[in-house]
Chain A
Amino acid sequence: MSCGSCCLSKRQWPEIQLIGGAAVDINEYRDIFLAESREYLQNLNDSLLRLEKEPENLELIQQMFRSAHSLKGMSATMGYDCVMKLTHEMENLLQLLRDGSLCLSKELADVLFSSLDALEAQLASVENGEKDAVSVLPVLEKLSAACSSAQAAKGLPHFAGNNGESRLASEPFALEEFEKVIIREAFALGDNVYWLEVNISKDSLLKSVRAYMVIKALEEHGTLLKVKPSISELEEDKFDHAFHVLYQTAVSEKEVVSKIYDILEIERVRVEKINESQLFTAGAGGDIVTGSFRTIPQVETPSSTRVSLLDKTVRVDTSKLDTLINLVGELVINRTRLVELGRQSSDLGIAEAAEQLDRITSDLQSAVMKLRMVPIKQVFDRFPRMVRDLGKDMGKNVRLEIVGDTTELDRSIVNQIGEPLVHLLRNAVDHGIETEEERKKAGKSPEGHIRLEARHEGSYVAIEVKDDGRGLNEELIIEKALRQKIITREEAEKKKGAAVYSLIFENGFSTAEEVTDISGRGVGMDAVKKIVEKLNGLIDIQSTPGKGTNITIRLPLTLAIIKALLVTAGGETYAIPVENVSENLYIHADDIHDIYRQKVISLRNEVIPLVPLEKSLFGRDNLQWDCEVPAVIVTAGEKKAGLLVDQLLGQQEIVIKALSSMLGKIKGIAGATILGNGRVALILNVATLT
């Protein structure tokens, strides 16, 4: 069997060379390693989920094998042993799946899923800088147990994990099918393939270094198809003075040997040339297949998948992106100034150039703004797995359908929306979807259905979680709300439908009859609502008893740019977010009344207090009450007020800038923006303005 062997590719070597020169700081590569590893892990998760549904799909197994293999190579390079061991055992198991000696049972899928979880945990510990902190032993044991039971069933000896590799050195080589394909390709290219046995002097104190030098020397003139024991084991000194290499090269046998003897402390090199016929007959000791040769579709070396993953995207530090966005924001501001100057100028050429610059800058701005946008797929991707596990834990049959995962949202929103969605999905599985028996009784299909959809709605993105479960129980909610003293009995009698449902967003509300492991751990829907509101979003709930529940979150496309109404007061310009503006009007002095020293107006039978903006902010009252005063009716939640200003300037899109933390929180001010003339305008926080 091919336990410790490793099919190598050219791409993996340069990284190993980096380690060889010990001066290279491995941490530099850690972020790249983590990012790529997570991609592979996601890939493994996705493929495994699909494989569960279509266990015969060889292509999926092949994909998983490649991902596991790449992970193994990368982790070995980086020295993350636990990741390497895990992926190695996974490879073994996948190998058995691939050659048909094992079938993917539910138990086996669980073992694989748990190993993916262990991998995830490992990556997290790598990220936190605790190398190999979490034990992987239980998972490793599960994996190898799964392997060995399959082996036993097949009557083959169980191969011995990572230990006792040295016996392989004296064994004839056994080739895996995909390796044979590679060798045949080598022949097709007219290359020679050699089986090398390299013996390092018994006295050598640096045998792993010598082995490394041999491999490096060989790499210069050809490709290493297979190394036994594996390279990671060679690096770790886990071999007994001899190792084997299956080597593809254009140079002659003699040259290869002399190259190896150039290295110190090499005792003996044995070379065996492999010819095509040998491939099929020399199957001593291994699993060489005779007769029909099952070709695995699309044999790719792991590195080529990696190249394609990296080809499409460039990883850029987010702080660099933010700098770029800021610079463009500034360019936009300067453009506005220039365009204004152009208009005033009598020189037609300047005006024309300014206008052209205007257009280009607008395009540039929208292109750069798109850089902030990422597909919501990043968040959605982990949900199929989560829903599967939840359903399984609770003995429910649940299918998650995802729609519109390519919808793009501002990066900072995507980063924060994951947690609320996890909560909504958990609720749907836990409280929404019924057990199989209940569903059958209600005449529904036994499989519960949850639909997660993202779509554009104007300047908002709507994310909808819809289940076909039992729906919300109005009476139960009211009962609970009364018990938790969220509402009074009088209030309860007035509420109906959506108004009742929205009670579940209240602080401290949880409808789970008994606290299950999954939902109802204190953080409830109120936490979901808080996050959504923090992101300037809205949340909406609909439910039909017996038919299901539908929760929609609406989020602004971006946090960085908002539409605002610009006004002036006391010589300064202020921006009021349009969400807070309900209307603008001119108030005549005659319409203003005094109630308890508070000036108010009556607008369509509603009494609205008036707040002079300048007075509210700076305590100075310089308004002249004898003429018409422009006013903005603003709303914040239930509150309404009329802001009296000097001038209404109109609507504009503004880029939000945070105020320096040195200033602390300023009442009534949400942030700042920079106007076309280069001046700073403050953005009002209507909720805290008095």
Chain B
Amino acid sequence: MSELAKKQGLQVVVFRLSNEEFAIDIQQLREVLKYVDITRLPQTSHFIEGVINLRGDVIPVIDLRKRFGICEGTIDARTRIIIVEITDQLLGLVVDQVSEVLYFSGDQIQDPPKGIIGDKSRFIRGIGKKDNRLIIILSPDMVISSEEKVELRELLPEQEAVA
């Protein structure tokens, strides 16, 4: 977590993948769409779902559930595509549900626990703690730039760390 975020806190958008709560920095979020049909792309990573039309722009979409090795979720009325901006480019992320916008003050954000998840910490900006909830704040840049396989459980701090 950057020093600045620690000082000023961080406003995030919280979403669900399976039963876990994740978040991304609201500064990186452009909009949240209802699930739309995705055009499949051949010969790309397994987690790249395809491309969608966002008001005339063709943008790639990643299924975060597949990215983190959670079994393919079903698509229902709550499924959303969140559009994030990464180095001037737009990217869609399929998530199970978008729940709320939260504010974490500096002292509510912890660095990713290095010892536990090793180099996978690159995917995480920090861990937000609030009212007994534990929310992983993702770094979307890493989510797409790496081909590396990541399992969700690797991202989760062990239960004792929570307690």
Q: Given the complex of chains A and B, what is the CA–CA distance between A674 and B52 in angstroms?
A: 9
Contact between chains at B39 and A660 (CB < 8 Å):
no
- Using Cβ atoms and an 8 Å threshold, which residues of chain A touch B40? 572, 618
B43 contacts A668, CB within 8 Å? yes
A327 within 8 A of B: yes
Q: With the chains together, A679 CA to B41 CA distance in Å?
A: 13
- Shortest Cβ distance from residue B43 to the other chain A in the assembled complex, whole angstroms: 6
Kindly provide the distance from the CB of B139 to the nearest chain A CB, expressed in whole angstroms: 15
Bound: A330/B54 CA distance, A: 10
Mask: chain B, 39-59; 1 = CB below 8 Å from A; 0 = not: 111111000101111011111
Please pick, from B42, B53, B89, the residue contacting A674 in the complex, using a CB distance under 8 A: B53
From A327, A329, A333, A660, B89 is in contact (CB under 8 Å) with: A660
Contacts of A679 in B (CB 8 A): 37, 39, 53
Number of interface residues of B (CB under 8 A): 23
- Rounded to whole Å, the gap between the CB of A321 and the closest CB of chain B is 15
Instruction: Say yes or no: A674 contacts B44, CB within 8 Å.
Output: no
A-B contact count (CB 8 A): 68
Smallest CB-CB separation from A682: which chain B residue? Answer: B39
Number of interface residues of A (CB under 8 A): 26
Confirm or deny: A373 has a beta carbon within 8 angstroms of a beta carbon on chain B.
Answer: no
A592 to B57, CA, bound (A): 41
Known contacts A333-B56, A657-B57, A674-B53; A662/B41 CB under 8 A: no
A656-671 vs B: 1/0 string, CB under 8 Å? Answer: 0111111100111100
Within 8 A of A (CB), among B56-75: 56-60
Instruction: Confirm or deny: B127 has a beta carbon within 8 angstroms of a beta carbon on chain A.
Output: no
The closest CB in chain B to the CB of A671 belongs to B58
Measured between beta carbons, the chain B residues less than 8 angstroms from A680 are 39, 50-53, 58
Q: Is A326 an interface residue (CB 8 A)?
A: yes
Contact of B41 among A327, A329, A669 (CB under 8 A): A669
Chain A residues whose C-beta falls within 8 Å of the C-beta of B56 in the assembled complex: 326-327, 329-330, 333, 657, 674
Partner of A662, one of B37, B42, B43, B144: B144
Q: Enumerate chain B residues within 8 angstroms of A672, measured Cβ to Cβ.
A: 39, 51, 58
Would you call B86 an interface residue if the criterion is a C-beta within 8 Å of the partner chain's C-beta atoms? yes
Q: Does B91 reach chain A (CB closer than 8 Å)?
A: yes
Q: Decide: A657 near B43, CB < 8 A? Known: A662-B144, A674-B53, A680-B51.
A: no
Does A681 belong to the interface (CB within 8 Å)?
A: yes
B57 touches A663 (CB 8 A): no
A678 touches B53 (CB 8 A): yes
- B63 to chain A: closest CB distance in Å? 14
Chain A residue contacts of B42, Cβ below 8 A: 617-618, 666-669
Measured between beta carbons, the chain B residues less than 8 angstroms from A669 are: 41-42
Give which listed residue, B39, B44, B59, B60, contacts A681 with CB less than 8 A. Answer: B39
Give CA–CA (A678, B60) in the complex, Å. 15
Using A618-B40, A668-B42 as known contacts, say yes or no to A660 and B59 having CB atoms under 8 A apart: yes
Q: Which of B67-103 contact A (CB under 8 A)?
A: 86, 89-91
* Neighbouring B residues of A682 by C-beta, 8 Å: 39, 41, 51
In the docked arrangement, what's the CA distance between A679 and B58, Å?
10
What residues on B are CB-neighbors of A572 within 8 Å?
39-40
CB distance from B62 to the nearest CB of A (A): 9
Chain A 324-335, CB-CB to B under 8 Å as 1, else 0, gives: 001101100100
Contacts A678-B53, A679-B37, A680-B51 known; A663 to B60 CB distance under 8 Å?
Answer: yes
Q: Which residues of A contact B44 (CB under 8 A)?
A: 663, 666
Contact with B along A564-576 (1 / 0, CB 8 A): 0000000010000
Cα distance A330–B58 in the bound complex, in angstroms: 11
Q: How far is the CB of A177 from chain B (nearest CB, A)?
A: 58
Distance of A326 Cα from B55 Cα, bound (Å): 9
Contact A663 B48 (CB under 8 A): yes
CA–CA, A672 and B39, complex, Å: 10
Contact (A674, B144) CB under 8 Å given A662-B91, A666-B43, A679-B53: no
Q: In the complex, given contacts A668-B43, A678-B53, what are 7 additional A-B residue pairs having Cβ atoms less than 8 angstroms apart?
A: A658-B58, A661-B89, A662-B144, A663-B60, A667-B42, A667-B43, A682-B39
A-B contact pairs, 20 of them (CB 8 A): A330-B56, A618-B40, A618-B42, A657-B56, A657-B57, A657-B58, A659-B60, A660-B58, A661-B89, A662-B89, A663-B48, A666-B41, A669-B42, A672-B39, A672-B51, A672-B58, A674-B58, A679-B53, A680-B52, A682-B51
A-contacting residues of B (Cβ < 8 Å)?
37, 39-44, 48, 50-53, 55-60, 86, 89-91, 144
Task: Give 9 closest A-B pairs by Cβ, nearest first.
Answer: A330-B56, A617-B42, A680-B39, A672-B58, A657-B58, A674-B53, A680-B51, A660-B60, A680-B53
